[in-house]
Chain A
């Protein structure tokens, strides 16, 4: 189930960035949206698949969706 693009409040483009920048940039973006709003993160760092699960678990934000398409990882996060 793909999230409707209209529902995304903010997009974080972390493509080409390595650890820990995708997480750091996401943490900054989360502060910019209201609780309940969605953030889409695009990354190419393969380590980010595990890192985003750990990040969501620790921070309490919800990892709504996780997909990969042609080497680009896409994460949809709902701010708690």
Chain B
């Protein structure tokens, strides 16, 4: 008995040309707009950025916040303890705890004593916390644009981010907004 090989199916999937649509440049800015580039992650700078963003939106000004580098951790969920895939990313996230409620002061942090005092004073004088201001800003329509490069470098997944963030963008989108006239603030 001779063993004859079954003819092998030769149907090879022909690679189809990629048909991913090129997204249009969707963020068209006007000279009345405000663009905050939030680069820093300290409590007081995050706070100032949230005050300006919520006020700007409350004044009917189209407002966008591009979050990048150290500013990024404030937009990771408070409940997230560690982000990243490799040990270096995990270490980075351990040293700058994620979440807007876990920001440290650049001065007088005193192992958390400073932020605690700031929080107590804010409550006493009716100042809203960065977290409350962030919620207000989102409600008033502020767009928060995550920096794709920071997400990649720190190993931050989309699931790690708070709800309501826009699609990640790069530096070119930010420059385009500025060239279209949005007033830039680098915090």
Contacts and interface: CB of A to CB of B under 8 A. Distances in A.
Contact of B54 (A16, A17, A20): A20
Given A24-B55, A24-B136, A58 B61 contact: yes
A59 B51 contact: no
B51 A20 contact: yes
- Of B60, B125, B133, B140, most buried by chain A (CB within 10 Å of CB) is B60
B23 interface: no
A45 B54 CA distance: 17
How many residues of A sit at the interface, in one of the four size bands?
10 to 19
B132 to A, nearest CB: 9
A10 to B, nearest CB: 16
A55 interface: yes
B57 A27 contact: yes
A3 interface: no
A23 B55 contact: yes
B126 interface: yes
Nearest to B50: A20
Given A23-B55, A24-B54, A27-B140, A58 B60 contact: yes
B183 interface: no
Interface string A28-58: 1000000000000000010000000011001
A19 interface: yes
Given A27-B140, A28-B139, A28-B140, A21 B126 contact: yes
B58 A24 contact: yes
Contact of B127 (A18, A28, A54, A59): A18
B59 interface: yes
13 contacts: A19-B127, A20-B55, A20-B133, A21-B127, A23-B58, A24-B54, A24-B128, A27-B58, A27-B60, A28-B139, A55-B58, A58-B59, A58-B60
Top 6 A-B residue pairs of the complex, sorted by shortest distance between their CB atoms? A27-B58, A20-B55, A17-B126, A59-B60, A16-B126, A58-B59
Given A17-B128, A26-B58, A45-B126, 5 more contacts: A19-B51, A20-B133, A21-B126, A27-B140, A55-B59
